[in-house]
Structure 1
Amino acid sequence: MTDTITKHVRPSLQQIKPYIPGKPIADVQRELGLADVIKLASNENPVGPSPRAQAAIQAALADLHRYPDGGQLELKKELATYHGVSEDMLLIGNGSDEVISFFCATFVEPGDEIVVPTPSFSEYTFASTVMAGKTVEVPLREGFEYDLNDFADAITERTRIVFLCSPNNPTGTYIRQADLESFLQRIPADVLVVIDEAYNEYVEAPDYAQGLDLLKKGHNVAVMRTFSKLFALAALRIGYTIAKPEIVSFVNRVREPFNVNHLAQVAAIAALHDEEHIQLSRRVNSEGKRALYAGFDRLGLRYIPTETNFVLVDTGVDSKEVFQSLLRKGVIIRDGAFFGLPTWIRVSIGLPEENERFLQALETTLHRLRTTAR
């Protein structure tokens, strides 16, 4: 009976590889019998959520019997003012993942193509594959740097969307303003460029390409942002896109009613205006980044300078073994095998004491693995 039913499953679903999230702290505690575990695997803000956001959630608990605002009108109003755009340029999703799926559901027919960097965020391929689309991967250059000429060359008559993650996950590298402007001049007018700026608020580089500036100049781009990273609302799942009104109008047609819950909406509005929390989060990240750099230099490890809240570092040994060893020491990171980088690990920037604990555990691990390999 089961075989009879499953033969009608759409063939494109056979190609999908499930997303593997960072291992939860509770799982490690239970599996390894550890009480003290730190998680530096999922690029979460170690400062925690904004006090204003927490207060807004508490105040909203009495309204849980009501459906949320299906149009997210108050949040759109606040975001429109914050970014200097009109409200009809905004679409809110249940996390950036859902926004990515909106784009593919709107523009990708079976056999159509999306162009993506590699390594990068796997959800672009997932969303396209669900729609029976084809993913064209463009490898990043030396040092995981973007060369947008490679992306322009990859575009065909079947290309519908180019996804550009900047700063890029898992590499931390970014696209420069002049390069993006030149790229947009080269591509066909009917290709949508979606710029995933999930880590935008952490960027320190002065030549970083701000997609919103190019959108305001009339370029055919859609800019994605999220409340999961610097704004520290990952558990509530809320992301959004800013694009031309005509694009938003069509993409909105594939959005489910009430897709963003009430607590997420009120928390996002509060977090957006908590400047003290924003500045603290940036400072902790900037200082932590430099502490990790110093530690990697001391250990003689190659790492990629980052514009995000994580660092990609080459351990020179099997990253799965590094992952397991650190796990036994109560430190959760991401091994690079998932990204096709077998000797690299990605570590989120934590609080000072977390960064130091990670570096000490990494030093011990690498000494043991290198000694064993001799």
Structure 2
Amino acid sequence: MSHGAPAGTRVHGGPDAAGVPLFDFSTNSHACGPCPAALAAVQLADAGRYPDAGYETLRRQLAAFHGVDVQRVLLAGSASEFIFRITALAVQRGATAVWLPPHSYGDYAQAAQAWKLPVVAQPALAQLRWACDPSSPLGAAQQGLAELAGAAAFSLLDRAYEPLRLSGALALSDEALQQFWQLWTPNKALGLTGVRAAYVIAPPGSDDAVAQLESLAPSWPVGAHGVAMLQAWTTPEVQAWLVASLATLREWKARQIALCEAMGWTCLPSAANFFCARPLLPHGMNLPQLLAELRGQGIKLRDTTSFGLPGQVRLGVLAPAAQGALHNAWQHILRKAT
């Protein structure tokens, strides 16, 4: 979404009015998933009971996993839910402006609009500052990351794609990282995007803000299936699966970029399991028409116009069979256009 999208307007990848795409490049979910152990945990979750309202066991597990005090761990219904909640907190604490990366997840702006919080061009002018690394939609490093933290602001680092980083590393010292509120959403890395659950690691010394965020949350923000997924996330078995699977994603990504370039598409650099590309449009066809033609053949790409990148698409890395389907559909479109 662009920063100026009308309130209530949301653009996302994934299933749409035409149903579930046969080959869905429009989301960034792990193409090797679902993770078998995490899926089994979700399937075995006891949906007949409420979770512990305080999530005491889960919070201890997450705290141990990250090596932090349990008081720093907050649960959230999803990344989007927490984005809206911490925006509300920032406003309650006197925030008058928000800073967003030039191209970023639309819910940052959506939450700001809901709270009538203007977007400013310079981080120093904002009391709420967002960052994402690897970023979306580009999958690149966030520029100027270390400069975003500050005592006078809520500095948020969305780490949704950190587990799916295929190259490079976060350009922050541990000391600088501790100044950020870190938002984690493991469902993408586990290939379980239908399970909504997230958590946050608060900066040290944020007890008052943590307490206020807890008071702003509904009861049981995470259901039994989300609890099961987050508990599985912390286990050595699931982490070993993730590490091993990244090698496969690297191979598939290199193959997919080569295929797109052979089709005449211009691919942008990316460190994650997705990348942006500018398609070479057939004569007389615009991008929406191309995407519609592909969707009619069961292939969905993510138009990045809503991210402020018109004329480009974002492609999640998929398996070779899906890549072959994209190539065949492209050839079919070219034949029709000539």
Q: Give the TM-score category using the shorter length.
A: 0.7 to 0.9
Aligned-partner SS, 1:291: helix
* Corresponding residue of 2:294: 326
Kindly provide the amino acid, as one letter, of the partner of residue 330 in structure 2: L
- Between the two structures, name the one with larger relative contact order (CA 8 Å, sep ≥ 6): 2
List per-residue Cα deviations over 1:258-316 (Å, max 9, x = no partner): 01001110122113321343134322321121111111222232111212221100114
* Corresponding residue of 1:33: none
- Indicate the larger mover: 357-366 or 312-321: 357-366
Report the TM-score when normalising by structure 1: 0.79
The counterpart of 1:41, out of the listed 15, 26, 30, is 26
Q: Separation in 1 of the partners of 2:210 and 2:86?
A: 10
Aligned-partner SS, 2:58: helix
Q: Separation in 1 of the partners of 2:213 and 2:25?
A: 34
Q: Separation in 1 of the partners of 2:115 and 2:109?
A: 10
The counterpart of 1:283, out of the listed 247, 253, 264, is 247
* Corresponding residue of 2:177: 215
Kindly state the Cα deviation for residue 113 of structure 1 after the two structures are TM-superposed. Answer: 1.0
Give yes or no for contact 2:13–2:26 (8 Å, CA) kept in 1: yes
* Corresponding residue of 2:168: 206
Give yes or no for contact 1:115–1:163 (8 Å, CA) kept in 2: yes
* Corresponding residue of 1:6: none
Change (3 A) 1:188 1:242: closer
- Indicate the larger mover: 221-230 or 275-284: 275-284
Query: Is there any run of 5+ residues in structure 2 with no aligned partner, and where?
Result: none
Residue 116 of structure 2 is aligned to residue 132 of structure 1: yes
Give yes or no for contact 1:41–1:333 (8 Å, CA) kept in 2: yes
Kindly provide the amino acid, as one letter, of the partner of residue 59 in structure 1: L
Residue 287 of structure 2 is aligned to residue 296 of structure 1: no
* Corresponding residue of 2:58: 75
* Corresponding residue of 2:11: 20
* Corresponding residue of 2:329: 361
Task: Answer 1 or 2: which has greater helix percent.
Answer: 1
Q: Separation in 1 of the partners of 2:168 and 2:313?
A: 27
Give yes or no for contact 2:77–2:222 (8 Å, CA) kept in 1: yes
Aligned residue pair count: 324
Change (3 A) 1:296 1:38: closer
Aligned-partner SS, 2:45: helix
Q: Separation in 1 of the partners of 2:67 and 2:175?
A: 10
Change (3 A) 1:204 1:23: closer
- Report which of the two structures shows the higher radius of gyration computed on alpha carbons: 1
Alignment of 1:1-374 (within 5 A): 15-24=6-15, 27-28=18-19, 37-61=22-46, 64-108=47-91, 112-136=96-120, 138=121, 153-156=122-125, 159-175=126-142, 179-181=144-146, 183-184=147-148, 188-210=150-172, 214-216=176-178, 219=179, 221-244=180-203, 245-246=206-207, 247-273=209-235, 274-317=238-281, 318-365=286-333, 371=338
| Identity between Structure 1 and Structure 2 (%) | 23
Kindly provide the amino acid, as one letter, of the partner of residue 12 in structure 2: P
Kindly state the Cα deviation for residue 95 of structure 1 after the two structures are TM-superposed. Answer: 1.2
Kindly state the Cα deviation for residue 351 of structure 1 after the two structures are TM-superposed. Answer: 1.6
Q: Separation in 2 of the partners of 1:172 and 1:363?
A: 27
Change (3 A) 1:162 1:321: same
CA RMSD of aligned residues (A): 2.5
Query: Is there any run of 5+ residues in structure 1 with no aligned partner, and where?
Result: 1-13, 30-35, 139-152
